[in-house]
Amino acid sequence: MYVNSIRLFGNKTNVNQNFIKNNASVNVTVTNSLQRDTVSFGAKPPMEELQKHFDNYKPVILDFGGYKIPVHNNKIADRMKEEYSPDSFDALFEFADKKGVFDVNVDEKTNYVQTSLINQKENPLMSKLVWVTDSCNIMPLLKDKHPEICVPLMENMSAYYAKQQRSFDRIINNPDLFELNHDWPNTAKNGVGHVFNPKNGVSHKWFARTRLDSMGLYLGVVTDLMNDGFNGAKYGYKKADDVSSNTIEAMANAARYLQKINYAYAKDTGPWEEKTFNATTTSDVAIINESFRKLLDFMYTPTDNKEVLKIRKRLLNAKNGEVFKDEAALRQQLEIGEYRIKTNSKHEVPNERKLDGAMGFIFKTEKLDDDVVKNAKKVMQRLQYLEKGMKGTKEIVRDNGVLRYINDKYLYLNSDLTGQKPEYNPKTKFPPKTEAQWFMVSDIASSYGKIAKSLMDKIEKDGESSKEIDKLLKYALKKETEYINRGYARITGKHSYKANGVKAPVYQIPEAYQAVRDSKGNIKFVPGTHTPLAWAQASLYDASKVFLDNLERYEKLQNTLE
């Protein structure tokens, strides 16, 4: 059914060799990534002096029955439990909120949100640049806490995409160009940028142009802002005239672009912006699938809403609006994406990478089976691979978070304790289990939470449960609780220093916990340089809302069924 629809490699036999030579460095062997691939800049005190900061760092270890984890903030530790009632978790959530755990830096003059609230001297790029992905991923938090910024922020993204019209058209008119991308960022420049300087809207030259999740997230977010706003949501557009022509054109460009490259089987760098793979990462397919579902619903579901009808007309008249004239083709594209998830998503990248921390994103939106019970079993088995490993690879869930992937050499041991960090080399070896441990445990919590929600939906729909469903539901809630705890355990405490030797802010969520050696040579995990990271804050905030909803619903459900 799908074989003829999938263009795995394009029609390369018709591509002129001189054309290839002029448009991509296909003959260049790349062993290292970009020069000065570093997160810390400027002169620093001697490493030995900085390492003394870590000598007395010792988070409390809490035993929750089936697992033990280090908790970095004692006040948070006092409020964590092996099992929560709605009231006890609400107390933890509210306490963290009041302490500023979910506070982000909104610039009301420019309508941007700072990616990482760090000093410019620590990292002039991370404190200055804007990522489309991060700007979209923080929406769950912004919708509640800063509803007034949601539309202006996405209009900024639309203005950025407007400056890349030629890049969109180049791939839309010749999708084979996208297939020429490969390996590290300097040989993956055929496409649309995703990281830019907010002062001039120019894409940063270091980054690959093959990151597909950004475009998918953008499509999903702006569709939500219109659909929800036209129905009264504070955070959305109020009327069709409020939607800029930049946004209309960007939506049409993104939809056409993703369709033309056949997003489920395209080249892709994935969320970590490093190597460009020969197939789309599974986590990116999931993100784009969800955006297509939202877009299809917005464009084709019968409605009398005049504002929606106005937007539909404008989208059809956009430069690349022809993509919306063929509903069947768009639905087939989504079917291909869903088919990829159901049949070829056990690994993050088939034949190239097995487990990846980004796989925690997948089941926040995707299904492996249309049957609720079968899907719950299959999804929870997949999530267990992250925790226990699978044939050929070790587990990636660790004490302080989840790895991006095994043998990740970004944010490596002591990497930020010197301003003279050498060029990143993938062949460099480090002590075992010293990879940075990232924030996506909260996304894993959300994935378990969505399974619990689906099971409760079924119970309510059927008006009854069963021993099998009860067992699955209790397990899903138990694992959701565990990963919520893993997320809250990462909140920073007092008297700690970041991996670059700078004092760590208290009650904040790091991008990652990084390995360092103290002055005595002991390896410890401390808050990473990028503390806090807005995306990490939004991830835990969203997971907390899902968890609280599930706890309240489960309590009512138990009372109903008794």
270-316 pLDDT, tens per residue? 999 999 999 999 999 999 999 999 999 999 999 999 999 999 999 99
Quick check: 435 pLDDT over 90? yes
Confidence of residue 11 (pLDDT cuts 50, 70, 90): very low
Using CB atoms within 10 A of its CB, is residue 162 exposed (0-12), middle (13-18) or buried (19+)? middle
Are residue 333 and residue 413 in the same domain, yes or no?
no
Residue 490 lies in a domain: yes
Are residue 372 and residue 348 in the same domain, yes or no?
no
| Phi, psi dihedral angles at 310 (to 5 degrees) | -65, -45
Position 366 scores a pLDDT of 98
Are residue 364 and residue 324 in the same domain, yes or no?
no
Q: Choose one of 288, 317, 352: the last residue of a domain.
A: 352
Mean pLDDT of the chain: 91
Confidence of residue 39 (pLDDT cuts 50, 70, 90): very low
Position 466 scores a pLDDT of 96
Are residue 560 and residue 446 in the same domain, yes or no?
yes
Residue 390 lies in a domain: yes
Are residue 459 and residue 553 in the same domain, yes or no?
yes
Residue 166 lies in a domain: yes
The one-character DSSP state at 439 is S
Position 5 scores a pLDDT of 35
Q: Choose one of 330, 352, 374: the last residue of a domain.
A: 352
The least confident of 35-49, 454-468, 503-517 is 35-49
Instruction: Say if residues 135 and 198 touch (Cβ distance below 8 Å).
Output: no
Quick check: 1 pLDDT over 50? no
Position 421 scores a pLDDT of 53
Are residue 285 and residue 190 in the same domain, yes or no?
yes
Position 9 scores a pLDDT of 32
Three-state DSSP state, 180 = coil
43-96 pLDDT, tens per residue? 678 888 999 999 999 999 999 999 999 999 999 999 999 999 999 999 999 999
Percent of the chain with pLDDT over 70: 91
Residue 85 lies in a domain: yes
Position 120 scores a pLDDT of 83
When comparing pLDDT for 13 and 458, which is higher? 458
Confidence of residue 411 (pLDDT cuts 50, 70, 90): very high
Quick check: 28 pLDDT over 50? no
Residue 119 lies in a domain: no
Are residue 200 and residue 299 in the same domain, yes or no?
yes
Are residue 138 and residue 90 in the same domain, yes or no?
no
Structural domain containing residue 161: 131-352
When comparing pLDDT for 40 and 98, which is higher? 98
Residue 23 lies in a domain: no
Position 471 scores a pLDDT of 98
Quick check: 210 pLDDT over 90? yes
349-367 pLDDT, tens per residue? 999 999 999 999 999 999 9
- Name the one residue in this structure whose structure tokens are 């069947």: 328
Quick check: 450 pLDDT over 70? yes
136-153 pLDDT, tens per residue? 999 999 999 999 999 999
Position 42 scores a pLDDT of 56
Question: Nearest 5 degrees, angle CA 446-CA 273-CA 256?
Answer: 80
Instruction: Report the candidate in 293, 269, 290 with the shortest Cα–Cα distance to residue 281.
Output: 269
Q: Choose one of 352, 368, 396: the last residue of a domain.
A: 352
Position 124 scores a pLDDT of 81
Residue 154 lies in a domain: yes
Q: What ranges make up the beta strands (E) of 32-100?
A: 60-63, 68-71
Residue 257 lies in a domain: yes
Position 425 scores a pLDDT of 64
The count of domains in the chain is 2
Quick check: 408 pLDDT over 60? yes
The one-character DSSP state at 499 is T
When comparing pLDDT for 331 and 34, which is higher? 331
Are residue 414 and residue 307 in the same domain, yes or no?
no
Q: What are the residue ranges of helices labelled H in 64-199? A: 74-79, 86-98, 132-137, 139-145, 147-162, 165-173, 176-179
Quick check: 40 pLDDT over 60? no
Using CB atoms within 10 A of its CB, is residue 78 exposed (0-12), middle (13-18) or buried (19+)? exposed
Are residue 559 and residue 431 in the same domain, yes or no?
yes
Are residue 392 and residue 425 in the same domain, yes or no?
yes
Quick check: 134 pLDDT over 80? yes
Are residue 322 and residue 433 in the same domain, yes or no?
no
Position 118 scores a pLDDT of 87
